Structure 1
Amino acid sequence: MKEERIRPTKGKVLIAEPFLGDKNFERSVVLLCEYNNLGAFGLVLNQLTNLKLDDVIENIYAELPLYLGGPVEQNTLHFIHRLGDEIEGSVELGNGIYWSGDFEQVKTLINISKISENDIRLFVGYSGWGAGQLEGELMQDSWIVSDIDAGLIFETPSNNFWREVLKRMGGQYKVLSNYPTDPRLN
């Protein structure tokens, strides 16, 4: 009997198969923030950049790291957090994860030290799929769809994130988490 696959929906993650072959998404975990018949919008959770928030936004007095949300429109800033209704206009994704909200309010809370690196993740750019594109990639087994919670996102170091997400899924995924980056070197 074939295993029932989790369907992609807002708040789920896409975990790149180790043999994906796309440098933009190698060993990536993408949080789906929007998913409908027009396509999908997500943010890569584990591609840390060398930039800090105060490098790209004026009047910020904290050096919060910036992540590369994906290859699309890398001149845009996006964020997820686990502060819920403390940030006006936030969109609940489930499992304690929220997307977007009033950025002026976020800046103020950052500057008065009411938001820390363990509460928010900021991204330049995003990942996007047109209508039917993600479904095609899923049919080619390019992605594993899974649940995720805020604790895992905000408390797991990005350099071990892909592996840790798979390990926590257990079974065949735990084995897959040890798949070498280059199998020829195994």
Structure 2
Amino acid sequence: MPEYFYADRLFNALERNEPEPGMLLVPAPGMFSDLFARTVVLIVEHDEDHTLGVMLNRRSDVAVANVMPGWAELAAKPQAVHIGGPVSPESAVGVGVTRVGVDIDASQHFTRLANRLVLLNLNAAPEDLADEVDGIRIFAGYSEWAPGQLDDEILRGDWFVAPALPSDAVASAGTDLWGDVMRRQAMPLPLFSTFPANLEDN
């Protein structure tokens, strides 16, 4: 098998969105990568210097209550730390979904990503956010791209860029988030929503 199996570059034939905070990076069907295959990456920062994101669907076996107990009550189920990426795994990134009517731009605790989806200030007191969020997710580490790196990978057809829904960040256990995101895109992407992570399992 070649290093990259997904050589048909399906995504190159589709209308392309630009990466920006609040957008999702969806890896191409058949991405030959133990790290990113069938992940969904939420972009939390994007500028000329770098791009940062967190993988939404890589759950660890560590409970939020064991490492950041103050945030456990606000964490959406499953209340586990999720693996945001391979960079700085000792650092924490918080993402949340605000309640309807919360003025995100007026809060010092939130950075708007998309709609009700926000980046959390984890230096805040959790009790100050309790009435403002429907759920949060804590990520250990993050994924990072150097200047121009992500643009090159998108141009090559490795990633599809799609808008995020608030529910993506707090999806329940057992959710096939990659498949769900693919199914809500324009054709022909829904046809690939059941593409296996490992072709030998097909």
Q: Which bin holds the TM-score, normalised by the shorter protein?
A: 0.7 to 0.9
Is the 1:87–1:102 contact (alpha carbons within 8 Å) kept by the matching residues of 2? Answer: no
**In 2, Cα distance between equivalents of 1:23 and 1:102:** 29
Q: CA deviation at 1:184?
A: 3.3
Tell me the residue number matched to 2:121.
101
Tell me the residue number matched to 1:40.
51
Alignment of 1:133 with 2:156, yes or no, is no
Alignment of 1:12 with 2:32, yes or no, is no
Partner of 2:33, secondary structure, is coil
Q: Could you state the TM-score of these two structures normalised by the residue count of structure 2? A: 0.79
Shift in CA distance, 74/158, structure 1 to aligned 2, threshold 3 Å = farther
Shift in CA distance, 154/185, structure 1 to aligned 2, threshold 3 Å = closer
- Extract unaligned runs of 5+ from structure 1: none
Query: Residue 72 of structure 1: which of 87, 93, 113 is its match?
Result: 87
Is the 1:13–1:29 contact (alpha carbons within 8 Å) kept by the matching residues of 2? Answer: yes
**In 1, Cα distance between equivalents of 2:122 and 2:196:** 41
Q: CA deviation at 1:169?
A: 1.3
Superposed counterparts of 1:17-28, under 5 Å: 17-28=28-39
Query: What do you get for the CA RMSD once the two structures are aligned?
Result: 2.4
- Number of matched pairs: 181
Partner of 2:121, secondary structure, is coil
**In 2, Cα distance between equivalents of 1:170 and 1:50:** 35
**In 2, Cα distance between equivalents of 1:80 and 1:59:** 15
The residue type equivalent to 1:8 in the other structure is P
Shift in CA distance, 158/10, structure 1 to aligned 2, threshold 3 Å = farther
- Most deviating of 77-86 and 152-161: 152-161
Partner of 2:180, secondary structure, is helix
Q: CA deviation at 1:125?
A: 0.4
Q: Could you state the TM-score of these two structures normalised by the residue count of structure 1? A: 0.85
Q: CA deviation at 1:6?
A: 1.0
Per-residue Cα deviation, 1:2-32 (whole angstroms, up to 9, x for no partner): 5321111111000111222221111110010
**In 2, Cα distance between equivalents of 1:115 and 1:66:** 21
Query: Residue 169 of structure 1: which of 169, 173, 185 is its match?
Result: 185
Superposed counterparts of 1:106-121, under 5 Å: 106=126, 108=127, 119-121=135-137
Partner of 1:184, secondary structure, is helix
The residue type equivalent to 1:74 in the other structure is P
The residue type equivalent to 2:155 in the other structure is M
Q: CA deviation at 1:159?
A: 4.1
Shift in CA distance, 101/175, structure 1 to aligned 2, threshold 3 Å = same
